[in-house]
A = this chain, B = another copy of it.
Amino acid sequence: MSLEPPVIPDDLVLPPGAGGRIVLLVLDGLGGLPDPERGMTALEAARTPHMDELAGRSSLGLHHPVGPGVTPGSGPGHLALFGYDPIRYQVGRGALSALGVGFPLRAGDVAIRLNLAALDDDGRITDRRAGRPTDEEALRVVERLRSGIQLGWPDVEFFLEAEKDHRVVLVFRGAGLGALLRDTDPQTTGVPPLEPAVLPGVEDAASERTVTVLSRFLDRARQILADEPVIRGLLARGYARYEGFPSVKDRFGLRAAAWARYPMYRGVARLVGMEAPVEPASDEEALAAMEAAASDFDFHFLHVKGPDARGEDGDFEGRVAAIEAADAWIPRIMATGPRVLLVTGDHSTPALMKAHSWHSVPVLLHSPFARAGAAVFHETACRSGDLGTLEGRHLMTLALAHAGRLAKYGA
């Protein structure tokens, strides 16, 4: 087993089967700021009797997902919770999208996020999202491109997958491809898409090769889409070369599963070797699927989007309601018999800021070996918790320890 210094030394992880089960419940964007009128954060304002009851028998604390002052995207925020240093393990939006639609990326693949776009007869963009086409419409266009495009190099393959609405993922597979390219999306309408090019100031033969491959792909696509009524163009919006991450099985001895309604969170979980056995249509379906498969895995990652989505809307009361809804999950999760339950967020999303923020995130870690916490679970109570303020990537190590999955270090 290989562990990442300096989190935990090698050879400390016990073999699969040892120790108890872990549930990580991520309330996306959990941390907040006080509402100016109510003087409380959403977590302080929410009625959360189940989490509060658990808080009395749990270790509490605050975590910085990436580091103090750093506002995490969803990828780095979740990687930290999965025990991966998000500075060392970087993941581009293209790779997250590809993994989110279940595409089995291999090391060396270059994944590119594309928008289906509307172009006029002169090739100028009229809508960067092609009027948000239905999934069916997008799939029809994707299938035309799939069957119509021949790149013409024997050693380069492409894969094209519809994500949602106007979003499509393109993957190039072949030796020596780089991803240091600028977007072809000009971020405005009335102009043609930009030509593929490497980033300014970058000299990278591998990325130059990707420019050549992508240029040919886009040429062929333009010919095929010329007779389409609306979707006549493709805009590249984010590139990533997928390097392949060590899995949670190899690093932590965990058979792990992700239960998440939204593809991106299943994607980041797959990135570290978790399974995503279902594509739930709702949070309730996600929870029910996890309940049914509780004993099939050592580690369950359950994702709840609401607190973040309402925070980005600036909807404080919506955040309160989303947190209260998640609180009702606690008895059902505990009924599945985990040894360890970790409740936290991947970052803060204060309604006041309508965006992800850098503020530290409350943590509740329940196990039979937790110290006594507090009578309530929220940002202020967590300040005095026995976990203190720590880096997010250390939470996995703590969960493994509480689950009896880490051996003693040294004699």
Alpha-carbon distance between A372 and B398 when the two chains are bound, in angstroms: 28
A369 close to chain B: CB less than 8 A: yes
Determine chain A's interface SS by DSSP, over half rule: loop
Number of interface residues of A (CB under 8 A): 68
How distant is A93 from chain B, measured CB to nearest CB, in Å? 4
Chain B, residue nearest A400 (CB): B69
In the complex, which residues 379-411 of chain A have their Cβ closer than 8 Å to any Cβ of chain B?
Answer: 379-380, 383-390, 394-402, 406-411
Most-contacted residue by chain B among A9, A85, A353, A400 (CB, 10 A): A9
Binds B, one of A143-151, A241-249, A354-362: A354-362
A96 close to chain B: CB less than 8 A: yes
Q: Note all chain B residues with C-beta closer than 8 A to A68.
A: 387, 390, 394-395, 397-398
Q: Note all chain B residues with C-beta closer than 8 A to A402.
A: 69
Q: Decide: A369 and B386 in contact? CB cutoff 8 A.
A: no
Instruction: Given the known inter-chain contacts A385-B383, A389-B390, please indicate yes or no for A411 contacting B358, CB distance below 8 A.
Output: no
A238 close to chain B: CB less than 8 A: yes
A92 close to chain B: CB less than 8 A: yes
Given contact pairs A7-B67, A86-B410, enumerate 15 new A-B contacts (beta carbons under 8 Å): A5-B87, A12-B70, A68-B397, A70-B406, A70-B409, A71-B408, A72-B409, A72-B410, A73-B408, A74-B410, A74-B411, A90-B410, A91-B411, A360-B388, A388-B389
Alpha-carbon distance between A357 and B369 when the two chains are bound, in angstroms: 10
How distant is A408 from chain B, measured CB to nearest CB, in Å? 5
Alpha-carbon distance between A234 and B54 when the two chains are bound, in angstroms: 52
Alpha-carbon distance between A33 and B33 when the two chains are bound, in angstroms: 33
A197 close to chain B: CB less than 8 A: no
Q: Decide: A70 and B353 in contact? CB cutoff 8 A.
A: no
A182 close to chain B: CB less than 8 A: no
Instruction: Given the known inter-chain contacts A7-B67, A406-B69, please indicate yes or no for A34 contacting B371, CB distance below 8 A.
Output: yes
Q: Decide: A67 and B6 in contact? CB cutoff 8 A.
A: yes
Q: Decide: A386 and B388 in contact? CB cutoff 8 A.
A: no
A311 close to chain B: CB less than 8 A: no
Q: Note all chain B residues with C-beta closer than 8 A to A238.
A: 411
Point out the residue from B12, B74, B91, B389 that lies within 8 Å of A389, measured CB to CB. Answer: B389
* A-B contact list, 16 entries, CB within 8 Å: A8-B69, A33-B369, A62-B386, A67-B397, A68-B390, A68-B398, A70-B401, A70-B406, A71-B406, A72-B408, A72-B410, A238-B411, A359-B369, A371-B379, A372-B380, A383-B384
